[in-house]
Chains A and B, each alone.
Chain A
Amino acid sequence: MPKKEITCIVCPIGCKIIVKTDGKNCKILDGNKCKQGLNYAKSEALDPRRVLTSSVLVENGDWPLVSVKTSVPIKKKNISNVLKEIRSKRSMAPINSGDIIIKNVAKTGAAIIATKSIKVTK
């Protein structure tokens, strides 16, 4: 199995953890100083996910953009497809923080949720 170095993000020390992984199995070789690091390295090696935050164009709002996030972390490999869909989406004011802007974005199962409220422009 190929070796990989993963920078742990659980705390600011940022241990460099060496793992051996083939995508399905993972063995920690060296580098972590704590148990959380171990868990993080495993999940990062086998199933790296990220919460995406970005903006969606708003029509008729008192601000031109509404900030959004994915409802759950999405697989890293889907990031560019999700961003593409966010780019082309238009939404209409009023928007409430928590509103679903896009359901099942790029078929990831995650939703794109507004993180800000936008009123209708006066």
Chain B
Amino acid sequence: MKNFQVAVIGGGIIGSTIAWELSRYKIKTVVFEKGSDVASEASKANSGVIHSGINSKPNSLKARFCVEGNQLFKQLSDQLGFSIRFTGKYVIAKNNEEIKELKKLKQVGKQNNVPNLEIQTEINEPNVNCEAALWVPTAGIVLPYQMTVALAENAAINNVKFLLETKVINIKKQNERFLIKTNRGEFKSNIIINSAGINCKKIVSMLEKPDFNIYPCRGEYLVLDKDHSNLITSMIYPVPQKELGVLGVHITPTIEGNILLGPSAEFINDPDDKITTKKTMEKLQIEAKELIPSLPDIGVINAYSGIRCKLAPRNQGGWADYRIEESKKTPGLINLLGIESPGLTAAPAIAKYVNKLVSKHFELKEKSNFKIKKQQKRFNELTKEEQSRLIKKDSSWGRIVCRCENITEKEIIEALSNPLGAKTLCAVKYRCRAGMGRCQGGFCTQHIVRIMEKNFKMDVKQIRLKSPDSYLFTSRNREVDI
């Protein structure tokens, strides 16, 4: 099938949530994703925070969608099964100047209708240094890649076509439709949803002269070993650094029990420069230790970076509101520009809004057979009785492949059997967590590769780590004649 009514460009959290919302209706939808899986870019490389809205400018779209989105998370999580936890957040003030900032933040929060904000002088965090803190109970955490996968896979089982490793090269308006040229052929669509993230300007440029610029801003993170998970219960943020329009170095617990330090904020020229730097990694540890003196010097198990799509440069304060609108110059092109933090939180609300924009073009008729694929509990989260029952049903539940996180062979096979057709090592990692422990795949990688070979008949020379050209191997040692 090459003709669609809606083409979503970009399979990140925004594109996937929009695709899922649309999948309820009888609308032929396709998602083009140039990476080898959904959540290939910023959608997996962020803090995984469900923001409350205290950090957004009142009356902005950021504030509106953040607060609306926040309220939709519980229901979404119940429906699709991805994990969330409302840990709450403390914004820490170390001195009187900073306490004044807390009061300002509380005000902003009130303006944005953020409930139950409270300035406290004694906080429930024995390891944190502070004079006073703003307690934000509606802030929470989620695994951004798990959530994106849940939304995308649910869209896929409801007939949204996901085309991975498919890059949009050119778009032309042809009569009332768009002719979309990709590396995997040509497609036609009535509507384009530009949720291409950092590449949103490239897409606009294919159809019109953009009236905006994007300013890539890199955020680096450190991931700490689960051994240290009992240092904090809630998120710990310093008072926001005004100059950059970003949040500063945070300490965020994850659903799985790790701790994230970061992000940093560095304006860069190359939007694909997802490196981690020595300077920043050291700075993250130093700044985090100022908030939590008992943070260990060792214990980093991973580091990563994500690139924010900012619409304002550093010398203009680095802050600009979201632009979510149908292009006036190119009807049918719905742009989502500058979707940076609180993008993850805003996604469910943004998707509902985009639905409304789409409904101006098509009548949204609900499907009667809307399916739900609910994320199942992990083997290691089940009771002993449930575990025994599963092993009896299918013995591959009984073989543990990822020893750090206790992930079974069955879960790896399920991950590789995903409805999107993603078959990289990271596709396994982000679905069932194998490889995300402290040994970082030291034990499980060889076994996952063996499963790919045996159960999925994959050619070892074709196995990739995460993206189309990230091959794991170059050749066989001894060639086997066929």
Q: Which residues of A contact B (CB under 8 A)?
A: 55-57, 64-65, 87
The answer for the CA separation of A56 and B479 in the assembled complex, in Å, is: 11
- Residues of chain A within 8 A (CB-CB) of B75 are none
Given contacts A65-B477, A65-B478, A87-B478, 7 further A-B contacts (CB under 8 A): A55-B477, A55-B478, A56-B478, A57-B478, A57-B480, A64-B478, A64-B480
On chain B, the residues within 8 Å of A65 by CB distance are: 477-478
Residues from chain A with Cβ under 8 Å of B478 in the complex: 55-57, 64-65, 87
Alpha-carbon distance between A57 and B481 when the two chains are bound, in angstroms: 11
Taken together as a complex, chains A and B put the C-alpha atoms of A6 and B399 apart, in Å, by: 51
A89's nearest neighbour on chain B, judged by CB, is B478
Closest 7 CB pairs of A and B: A57-B478, A65-B478, A55-B477, A65-B477, A57-B480, A87-B478, A55-B478
Chain B residues in 8 Å Cβ range of A87: 478
Question: How far does the Cβ of B461 sit from chain A's closest Cβ, in whole Å?
Answer: 15
- 10 example contacts (A-B, Cβ-Cβ < 8 A) are as follows A55-B477, A55-B478, A56-B478, A57-B478, A57-B480, A64-B478, A64-B480, A65-B477, A65-B478, A87-B478
B:439-482 near A, CB below 8 Å: 477-478, 480
Note all chain A residues with C-beta closer than 8 A to B480. 57, 64
* Contact count band on B: under 10
The binding surface of chain A is classed by DSSP as strand
Q: Is chain B's binding surface mostly helix, strand, loop or mixed? A: loop
In the bound complex, residues from chain B placing their C-beta under 8 Å from that of A55 are 477-478
Residue of B nearest to A87 (CB): B478
| Alpha-carbon gap, A19 to B478, bound state (A) | 41
Residue of B with least CB distance to A56 = B478
Q: Report Cα–Cα, A87/B480, bound state, in Å.
A: 12
Min CB–CB distance B326 → chain A (angstroms): 57
- Least CB distance from A95 to B in Å reads 15
Chain A residues closer than 8 Å to B477, beta-carbon distance: 55, 65
- Closest B-chain residue to A88, C-beta based? B478
Cα–Cα, bound, A64→B479 (Å): 10
Q: Give A87 to B475 CA distance when docked, in angstroms.
A: 14
| A4 to B478 CA separation, bound complex (whole angstroms) | 38
Closest to B478 in A: A57
**Shortest Cβ gap from B211 to chain A (Å):** 59
Minimum CB–CB distance from A59 to chain B (whole Å) comes to: 8
Task: Kindly provide the distance from the CB of B482 to the nearest chain A CB, expressed in whole angstroms.
Answer: 12
| CA gap between A65 and B477 in the complex, in Å | 9
Residues of B within 8 A of A57 (CB): 478, 480
Distance (whole angstroms) from the CB of B241 to the closest CB of chain A: 54
**Assembly CA distance A64 to B454 (angstroms):** 13
In the complex, which residues of chain B have a beta carbon less than 8 angstroms from the beta carbon of A56? 478
Cα A56 to Cα B480 with chains together (Å) = 11
Using CB atoms, name the residue of chain B closest to A59: B480
- How far is A64 from B449 in the complex, measured between Cα atoms in Å? 15
A15–B270 Cα distance when bound, in Å, is 52
Q: How far is the CB of A20 from chain B (nearest CB, A)?
A: 42
Interchain CA distance A36-B480 in the complex, whole Å: 45
Closest to A57 in B: B478
CA distance in complex: A80, B334 (Å): 64
In the bound complex, what is the Cα–Cα distance between A31 and B248 (angstroms)? 60
Chain A residue nearest in CB terms to B481: A90
Say how far A89's CB is from chain B's closest CB, in angstroms. 9
Q: With both chains docked as a complex, state the minimum distance between the C-beta of B455 and any C-beta of chain A, in angstroms.
A: 16
Give CA–CA (A56, B478) in the complex, Å: 8
Within the assembled complex, what's the spacing in Å between the Cα atoms of A64 and B477? 10
Nearest chain B CB to A71 CB, angstrom units:
21
B154 → chain A, closest Cβ, in Å?
Answer: 39
Tell me, in angstroms, the Cα distance from A87 to B477 when the chains sit together: 9
Q: Once the chains are docked, how many angstroms separate the CA of A9 from the CA of B370?
A: 72
Q: Distance in Å from the Cβ of B480 to the closest Cβ of chain A?
A: 7
Q: How many angstroms from the CA of A55 to the CA of B478 in the assembled complex? A: 9
Shortest Cβ distance from residue A103 to the other chain B in the assembled complex, whole angstroms: 20
The smallest beta-carbon distance between A91 and chain B, in angstroms, is: 11
